[in-house]
Amino acid sequence: MKTWISKKRMQGRTVYMQSALLFFWLLVLVGCGGVQEPQSTVDTDTAAGSVYSEPAAGTVQGEAVSVVSEVPGDGSDVRGEAISGAGRESGLTVEFIDVGQGDATLILCEGEAMLIDAGDESSGTNVQNEMEKLGVRELKYFVCTHPDADHIGGADVIAYKFPVTSLLMPELERDTKAYEQLAASISGRNIQVIHPAVGDIYTLGGGSFTVIGPVEQYGEDEANNWSVCLRFTYGELGFLFCGDAEEEAEEDMLAAGVELGADVYHVSHHGSSSSTSEPFLRAVEPSYAVVSCGRDNDYGHPHEETKEILAARQIQLYRTDELGNIFCYSDGKTLNWESEYDFAGENGAAAEENSAPEETAAPESSRQDYVLNTNTKKIHLPDCESVGKMKKKNRRDVHAVLEELFKEGYDPCKNCMG
């Protein structure tokens, strides 16, 4: 059931969701209200004052590490003394929330708050709790980068629990439970729904973010490339968030000439090798990279190719599967880092891998027929509706074990494989 986002391209236009009718189990949403002309700068301030309060006394984020300005030359993890609140008094706090195999990032800047994605269906309450720990009372912006369940599955909880001024998401509908639950959660609420255009600028406290993607319209089976991509700046520092944007979308951003440079790069698609191409990473040129992924996840994220390309450029890598919630504090000139768990580095993971029993060939019974899209790096069941829409040059039929395909950098289609 597609309910609330127009198929027509609306560059920078907004739709106000104001009414809904519930008849038994059928939810019908009606979009009403004014439409604004696109602007180069968009500011949705509605009231003066802070939208979040001071965290409750005694709130502790976890073990801390302090890293200021420079990356170690060998790319190794950096250990340090706890910041003990000093970093939290800076003007900017970015929390990469540990939601397992999903994404959720909270940004607090000089009294205003925004959230980028909310993890899967089981993560909504966790994200809510993290927001409340930091004293968030409302969101100026809620960015749902694209309608995959591991990014918007927990969004309905956030929309129910917190006042949201503006909801930003791409113009892509999905007939999924997560999409419909989000639609229901904003029904009847005075939430401004925006399909942002490349070049739109939004202010948050003393910082701002510019929309840099998607620069093109993609196929319905390319949800990752529809990801809303944004570059957040505060003082002299920049942060890049691109959802699950894959190599094709990265190439389009490069061709469009959008500004990509950033000090901190939230690695796209949980560190999949289908994203973070070398030309794209050269353009971003970050000092730090953060991967949001689940511990021992089925996809092998972050992939070895991604870790290698980051290490080759001596980019410091932090991972939520190893560190839990990761916090970055800034005064606009320097960066300070904290994490929920101690910084263990790659050595612990390597030791676990070395102690694992030797792999044996998978039995034939575990192999199945799949159709691969070599462009989007998606695995489909043969009867998936996306297979019929696939370009012939991108199709590859295989009889394989899923784990083998994961190692090749492929991810399962969320429509036919959940």
Range with the poorest average pLDDT among 67-71, 244-248, 327-331:
67-71
C-alpha distances out from residue 274 to 11, 99, 245, 304, 366, Å: 27, 21, 9, 12, 25
- Write the class of the CATH domain 14-39+62-218+228-345: alpha beta
N-term to C-term CA, the chain: 17
Report field, pTM of the whole predicted structure over 0.85: no
Tokens 């420079």 -> residue: 70
Range with the poorest average pLDDT among 76-90, 283-297, 385-399:
76-90
What is the per-residue pLDDT for 46? Answer: 39
Residue 32's pLDDT band, with cuts at 50, 70 and 90, is very low
Residue 274's pLDDT band, with cuts at 50, 70 and 90, is very high
The SS3 call for residue 102 is: coil
Determine the Cα–Cα distance for residues 75 and 84; give it in Å rounded to an integer: 25
Q: Which helix (H) or strand (E) holds 158?
A: helix 155-161
With a cut of 90, say whether residue 79 has pLDDT above it.
Answer: no
Task: Give the range with max mean pLDDT: 15-24, 43-52, 273-282.
Answer: 273-282
Choose among 157, 117, 163, 160: nearest CA to 137: 163
Domain positions in the chain: 14-39+62-218+228-345, 364-412
Q: What is the pLDDT of residues 205-234, one digit of tens each?
A: 999 999 999 999 999 889 999 999 999 999
With a cut of 50, say whether residue 302 has pLDDT above it.
Answer: yes
Give the tokens for residue 322: 């190893």
Residue 10's pLDDT band, with cuts at 50, 70 and 90, is very low
Determine the Cα–Cα distance for residues 183 and 15; give it in Å rounded to an integer: 13
Tokens 């059931």 -> residue: 1
